[in-house]
Amino acid sequence: MSASGERKVSASLGRSVRGAAPRLADLASTPEAPRTPTLGRSVSSLFGSPGGSFRTDDDYVVIEVGSRFVRAGFPGESTPRCTLAYDPDNQRRVGDYRQWDPQGAQKRQNPRKGQEWGQEYELYRMDLSQIDLGVVEDKFERIMREVYNKYFVLDTKPRRILLALPPKMPHPLMSTLLDVLFGSVQAPSITLMSSPVLSTVAAGLRSALVVDIGWAETLVTAVCEYREVHEERTVRAGKLLSEEMAKVLNAALDEHAGYHEGDDISFEEVEEVLSRVGWCKSKPRSNRRTLYFPARTSPILEEFEDAVETPEPTITIPLPKATPPSEITVPFATLAKPAEYALFATETALNEFDDDELPLHHLIYRALLSLPMDVRRVCMSRIVITGGVSALPGLKSRILAELEALVHAKGWDAVRNYGTASARHEQILRQKREALELQRQESEDKMTESLDPDSPLPAGLRAHEEDNIDAKLAHVALRNGPPPVSLTGGIVRGVETLGPWAGASLVAQQRIRGIVEIDRERYLQHGLQGASKEKEVSVVAQRQSMGPNVVRGAGERASWTLGVWA
Amino acid sequence: MAQTFPYTYYACDCYDSNNTSSTKRASQLLQEAEEDERTFDPRSPRANYSLYPLEHLLYCEDCQQIRCPRCIIEETLNWYCPSCLFEVPSSVVKSDGNRCTRSCFSCPLCTSPMQTFSLDMTGESAPPFILECQYCRWSTLEIGIEFEKGQGIAAQLARIGNGGKHIPTNKERDKERERRKEIEGRKSRDLLSPSTESTNTDADRADGPPSHDDLFSNLTAFYKSQVDAQTPSNPFSSHDINFSSPSAYSRIMNLYSTTGSKKNKRNKPSAMREVASSLEGLTIHDPANDAAAIERIKKEGWGVTLSPAQKHAQINPNVRFVDELRPLATLLCTKRSKRCRSCRQILTKPESKITSTRYKIKLLALNHIPRLSIRALNAMPPAAVASRTADAFDYNALKPGMPSHFLLHISNPLFDPIKVTLATPSTTPGRVQSRVTILCPQFDVGANTDIWDDALSSSLSPIKRGSITDQAPQIEAGKIWDRGRNWTSVAVEIVPGFTNAVSSDGRDELEEDEDVLEIPIFVRIEYETDAGADERGLGDSRGSKGEKERREEAFWTVVGVGRIKG
């Protein structure tokens, strides 16, 4: 009986899983005999026979909801089946085909009055006073219908949903989204996972500082052992970047063709320019006002100043929707300016920023600074930059370089200004740094000297003798413990991630159960109010026995919680 | 809106009645209480999601309500490729995904279908083959891919990467990973840790950065091995009660052996670790990749980059340049049956044969809901208008402030005569306020009887023209304009509002479609029908057993009259 069940499960797992069948190498790492892999399945019913454990509704679909895009697909696949944007063209009435009209396609769409830049392209925004939740529901419902009918093309079997959401969301908005998923998609249960944690998973890490440069805001989340421990946000993100790019392009257009009333560049064109040829200078400019570099390193940084190339490289941008259709030629360097203004704001002094508009590198530094020291050590060498804007070439390198410069200049000192004592503080710092430098140099010198066999070093300067037993111990630790690379800390290091969707796909594939699991029946009864107030629900199976032969199903939980969303 | 004037949209009222879920907020409840009083506003942002042309609507006979795409459930019957019309069994859809696995591809640049061509000059069809787009002439040669066979392109393409490289399958990936891990393991046993790292990076450099799929499969394997190592194999766990598995067998044997129980005491499981090498999916951020991308954009400009739409259509949306494109396998289409969401009755069911467009069951709103249409009332008979097109009414240039007459035409698809009540707000909602008067808001429409009935009866009784038999119809309040067998038309007087009154208001100019004159009309119909007519089929209305049932229906419609110009 169970053998046939085994076959059934493996068949339904699909192609990509079949490839990842158990291998000797995996099993060799565990000190047990070869065994059939457990799929993490559980016996669901109270008195059920084991055969009943192969529940059919264990299938998942993975959906990531952002404010601009929805990504949806199946677990175990490396990319989502579809990435859909909330395009205003998709939001027209049924039977309104004007986007296919050859004349209409040439026209520029002017934004509606009273709407902010790109508002038609958003699903939601965090400020609920500005949006109509009914419209959000309609939009989301329509897009989910497209996902299911066009891209999933599933049979009628109900599938659970693994939903990746930003870690903070207003409850009315959440219940709107859940209403659609439970109501029109008829999901039996929804597991919520927060996207920073999933980004961490997709980078292969347990702890990370996830910098999600999204549309409306940049979210810096410190994740320690798969848990969000700290969070900082700034409005310097995609929207601001796109607005700055619009300014740059409009200026270029005016220069090119003279100013026409109302002939501003449209949102779509800006998006296209940004994603095609937008870039970011990957090396920070030495800025003496905000950064302090010691005398020894500054000459190197001078080289980072833009070397003027001749002839100046330019990019020609076609604008077929302008009237008349035209092409503008923009110096390549100007295309990097929006990122400079919008994300780093290098021209502005630090004290002029509001709390919600800190430049990215300062925000990351601040987030790291507020972490406990041990968490900081782990997080600073696992900086994961994700989000739509992070695809801008050069941006990741730039952020890391800026951060490194900041750390180098300030250290981990929470005090920003020592007032009258600042001179003394600086002096102490300099002394420290010079001492460190001296040490480093000496050790380098030693290395070169030690090659010389004629002059034996004094014992105090000689390297430690290698102890055989120490080596052996290290060796054993190396073999049994985690590899040393996974313990790296204390340096600024960026780690690439495959993105929250891929992380969700990995999690769903391993059948890992989330903390926040919402059952359809319970949700329809009480809504979000039904969640218990405790933030944590024990996922580990309880050890208490309910009598012989009774296995308490892991499928049932007494209560559910909203976890970080509570 | 973009439909040609005049047009009629029908509102499905599901959007305010489907909120069965428990998350009704108090404010929403209040709104709904007011909803009954309010007139339908075709300009509200939610209206786009509830308005449909009559042809798009279904009708549930059990609920006696209009059903729009939002209030039905769809069930997939079968899958097929729209370009080769081959049916795909559901098992293949499950394992191989939602795209055609034969040779159907569409162009990644312009989305038109691609064809297979032989590059061989002499023979008819000899290798090598390529795919070429017939519209934009993009071919797989541009990404360096040629095929050996003309059939089964999808299978071949899955094995060839861009530039002719071989893409390993999942199994090969696993083998390769195993092999490299072994090498690494041997080296780490021989030497100490630093050397392993160097060999590791050497291997990476040889292959270039690992692809998205490689990384994902590495991560998958890593997590799988980690989860397997964590899964406790203690007896009586809720997992794998599976007596055919060797582990379970050895466990049972261990229970009865006296020696094994103590020896096998496992040490405390160590925590799941992080990835440590690129073989496990770790990618450290490398600024060189960023720099290379920037250089490439700088040198080659706009042409080598991809637009957002092209990116999102790709299987792997994280691409940037033209040479990373892959031909897109055609998405499968489905035939779906539709059920009413509330009573689960089947509304439509197509024939399962792929090439057939017939339906087994089809309950259209067209057959149950009176059709409203509006047209301008010309003094001339219709035949004369048709001949002189110059005089034809221009719906795209309604004159503001000029009262003009329109005919509202209601035709009845039911087999019973209906009583119609129309209601409309006297001024249209929105900023451009037009005055609307329906001259005769209450009237009867005849039954949709057999066409011969009409021919026969018209000779006997003069009901054809109603009260107005001979003289030309007149515009008079309280009187219908004209009447036929199953249709009635009434006159409507419309005074289009002033558009310039709005723009000189001090506020900004008109938004898109604000100058379109749309009239919301509330339609209520009453009729008597046989109680059991549904069961016996619709045509059988003559079998009157005296048990008549009174039915009524009410819905909002939106009539688009034209565009105001002036």
pLDDT tens digits for A31-89? 444 555 544 444 444 444 444 444 444 788 999 998 899 999 998 888 898 999 888 88
Strand partners, B489: B409, B482
Instruction: Report domain extents, chain A.
Output: 2-39
On the question of pLDDT at B406 being above 80, the answer is yes
Percent of chain B that is helix, strand, coil (3-state, to 5): 30, 25, 45
Q: Quick one: tokens of B33?
A: 């209480």
Average pLDDT on A472-483 reads: 71
Asked if B290 lies within 8 A of A19 by C-beta distance, the reply is no
The H helix count followed by the E strand count for chain A is 17, 12
Helix, coil or strand: residue B528: strand
Interface subset of B 203-232, CB within 8 angstroms of A: 212-213, 215-217, 219-225, 227-229, 231
Count Cα atoms within 13 angstroms, Cβ side, for B462.
Answer: 6
Task: Return the pLDDT at B31.
Answer: 54
Residue-wise pLDDT for B90-140, tens only, equals 888 888 888 888 889 999 988 899 988 888 777 677 778 888 998 988 888
Instruction: Pick B234 or B182 by higher pLDDT.
Output: B182
Interface test with B, best of A145, A249, A485 (most B CBs within 10 A): A485
What residues in B contact A10, CB-CB < 8 Å? Answer: none
Of A3, A34, A475, the CB nearest to B244: A3
> Cα separations (Å) of B457 from A161, B453, B454, B464, B540?
62, 6, 5, 9, 20
pLDDT band at A219 (very low <50, low <70, confident <90, very high): very high
Identify which of B53, B79, B171 has the shortest CB distance to residue A153: B79
The rounded mean pLDDT for chain B is 76
Greatest Cα pair distance, chain A, in angstroms, is 91
Interchain contact, A204 vs B275, CB within 8 Å: yes
Chain B CB contacts of A397 under 8 Å are: 285, 287, 290-291
pLDDT of residue B58: 92
Pick among B58, B67, B180, B219 to test the A interface (most A CBs inside 10 A): B219
**Which residue matches tokens 């203004």?**
A341
pLDDT at A259: 59
Pick from A108-117, B12-21, B348-357, B470-479: least confident: B12-21
User: Percentage of chain A surpassing pLDDT 90?
Assistant: 18
The helix (run of H) or strand (run of E) holding residue A130 is: none
Give residue A346's pLDDT band: very low, low, confident or very high (50, 70, 90). confident
Tokens of B73: 């459930």
| Structure-model confidence comparison of residues A163 and A27, the more confident one | A163
The Cα A155–Cα B191 span in angstroms is 55
Distance in angstroms between the alpha carbons of the first and the last residue of chain A: 43
Spatial separation of the C-alpha atoms in residues B428 and A547, rounded to whole Å: 71
pLDDT band for position A261 (cuts 50, 70, 90): low
CA gap B222, B283 in Å, rounded = 14
Q: Mind listing the pLDDT tens digit for each residue in A454-465?
A: 556 666 666 667
Most confident of A16-20, A455-459, B554-558: B554-558
What's at B348, amino acid-wise? T
pLDDT of residue A295 exceeding 60, the answer is no
Classify residue B153 by its DSSP letter. Answer: H
Query: What is the pLDDT at residue A48?
Result: 42
pLDDT tier at A370, thresholds 50, 70, 90 = very high
Question: What pLDDT score was predicted for residue B95?
Answer: 83
Question: Exposed (0-12), middle (13-18) or buried (19+): which is B8, by Cβ within 10 Å?
Answer: buried
Q: CB–CB of A182/B21 below 8 Å? A: yes
**H/E run at residue B546:** none
Residue B385: band (very low, low, confident or very high) from pLDDT cuts 50, 70, 90 = very low
Q: Do A19 and B169 touch (CB under 8 A)?
A: yes
From chain B, the residues in CB contact with A271 under 8 A are 308
Contact between A240 and A415 under an 8 Å Cβ cutoff? The reply is: no
| pLDDT digit string, tens, across residues B323-380 | 888 899 999 999 999 998 888 889 999 998 888 889 998 899 888 899 999 888 875 4
0.90 surpassed by complex ipTM: no
In this complex, do A95 and B56 lie within 8 Å of one another by their Cβ atoms? yes
Q: Which residues of B440-479 are buried (b: 16+ CB within 10 A; e: fewer)?
A: bbebbbbbbbeeeebeeeeeeeeeeebeeeeeebeeeeeb
Nearest to A42 among B197, B212, B238 (CB): B238
Q: What is the pLDDT of residues B504-547, one digit of tens each?
A: 544 556 667 778 888 899 999 998 887 654 554 444 444 445 57
Q: Which residues pair with B131 in a beta bridge?
A: B116
- B414: three-class secondary structure by DSSP: coil
Give the lowest-confidence range in A116-120, A172-176, B528-532.
B528-532
- Helix B170-190 to helix B212-230 angle, to the nearest 10 degrees? 70
Q: Do B212 and A78 touch (CB under 8 A)?
A: yes
Per-residue tokens: A204: 């292969």
List, for residues A268-289, the tens digit of each pLDDT value: 888 889 988 888 888 776 544 4
Q: What is the pLDDT of residue B348?
A: 92
Decide: helix, strand or coil at residue A63.
strand
The B87-88 sheet, strands edge to edge: B87-88, B72-80, B333-340, B346-350, B359-362
Find, in chain A, the residue whose alpha carbon is nearest to that of B95. A14
* Cβ within 8 Å, pair B282-A204: yes
φ, ψ for residue B429 (rounded to 5)?
A: -70, 160
Measure the CA–CA gap between A243 and B45, rounded to whole angstroms.
25
Cα atoms in the Cβ-side hemisphere of radius 13 Å centred on A525:
7
Which of A4, A6, A38, A182 should be substituted to probe chain B, the one whose Cβ sees the most B Cβ atoms within 10 Å? A38
**Residue of B22, B308, B316 with shortest CB distance to A524:** B22
Helix (H, G, I), strand (E, B) or coil at B60: strand
Beta-strand pair B359-362/B105-106: unpaired
Q: How confident is the model at residue A502 (pLDDT cuts 50, 70, 90)?
A: very high
| Cβ–Cβ below 8 Å for B282 and A502 | no
- What is the rounded CA–CA span in Å between residue B338 and residue B345? 8
CB contact under 8 A, B277 and A483: yes
